[in-house]
A and B are shown apart, each in its own frame.
Chain A
Amino acid sequence: MTEVAVKVDRLEKDLGSNKVLRGISFEAHSGEIFGLLGPNGAGKTTTLRVICTLLSPDAGSVGVLGFDTQVAPQEVRRRVGVVTAEFGVYPRLSARENIAYFAELSGVLDGEVSRKVDAVIDRLDMGSFAKQRAETLSSGQKQKVAIARAIVHDPPVLMFDEPTSNLDVLASREIRQFMVESKGRGKCVIFSTHVLHDAERLCDRVTIIHQGRVVASGSTAEVRGGFQDLEDSFLSLVEAAK
């Protein structure tokens, strides 16, 4: 069994009067793509936000590579990269400057910034537009900038929150390829999505949450069970949870 990279234990979280998470637990390992699945409003984004320390848990705990999010949030942030569907970039900075800014803030040493930024630009094939201002980039190019800034400090845990929801087919495929590649590099990839077709193709293990609770967890094959595909299994589980 590979190393446990992210451990979520009986996590609870309220947002206002809304009880969003009601005791969620799961583990994600290094070298796998872990799917966090559920319908809209299930609590996927809130779970990811707690893992990356943007929100604090009301109960339960979250550990990232041994660091508790409550005790050592900065250590957790050093080890996590997050890509979301909302890939906001600084429009008056070039793509390269956007990436370098986050590299510096993420603690990449001064002498290393340029080399690491160049490396990530090469890896994501961004050379043709790296010097362009971000305001002139296409959606797919901006998404690449968002990925680049999330991985430039080489975090061992990568989280993708509905990363393809605003992208066309070609850009979506590149994201999926990138996730597979990252898994091959030994990263823990957490993939949050409601597109079950993508999850079935990519994920080694999945956890399905519904209304703040885990309704199924295990390898993709285990969760699919006797159903034809993950979508049928998912619908059955959600129906049973009502």
Chain B
Amino acid sequence: MNCYLGVDIGSISTKGVIIDECNNIIASAYIWTEGNPVNAVRNLIEILKKDLDSKYVVKGIGTTGSARKLIGLLLNANVVKNEIMAHAIGTLSLYPDVKTILEIGGQDSKIILLNNGIITDYAMNTLCAAGTGAFLSSQAKRLNIDIEQFGTLALKSTNPVKIAARCTVFAESDLIHKAQVGYKKEDIVAGLCKSIVLNYLNNVGKGKKIESPVIFQGGVSKNVGVLKYFKEILNTDVIVDPNSHLMGALGIAILAKKNKTNKVYDLNIQNVDFLTKATECKGCSNNCEILRIYKDNRLVDSWGNRCDKYIKN
């Protein structure tokens, strides 16, 4: 039987799903990227292979997320697409009538507006990573709270503190100040969750018409505190799918299925030698950083040059 693999390599976590012809998830995995996408994907594939029945053959592979291009080369993916498309397609497969997708990930946050199953508008955070998962986890560390307990602790608060959320650096100093004057931990945590929502709606969601059904996904959607304030401030129900963290991977797997060829993919990448070499071109004062990707000592691609001078050797 045919199956399709989708891999979403984010800044913080790497997600993978394998689907069958009817878009049912037959295997999934969620692990930390830890700054090494190639290694993370190797481990991910091993986990997925354990869950995969031997009757299945992989007929398509898709990659998305910030390391999509690199991992696309590693896995010989037939589809390499950006996160926005992958998230929209993944969500639409489960909620065909979705109108708004809120997504907060490790380093970026986005909003996607849809109408009749078509993306009509989207926005992504611009300059900084304020109000994303990375900020939350670093603050949890500072307060010595396990990130998984963060949300439930926030729910206990009856009086969330106000935290200046415009910028991560300012929010952090404000948070320290609130802690130093003796606010309760749960009030601070609740304040943080609320500030994330306000920041998101003021930056990414600015000027966008948020209509229900609203779906919230990305790693931060697992935080019940943030979810609570989304519901409260938007004054509407916000759905979080149990697989909300896998939506990007699911979407890209569906796209891989749509673009399938007759090729059968091999998931044995454990012994593939994969190497990125960075050199600075001295051809002109642009000093482009040229990245050359080697697979089993063979040059497979090179990126980063601004001119046509550098050609694959």
Partners in one complex: no
Contacts from B to A (Cβ < 8 Å): none
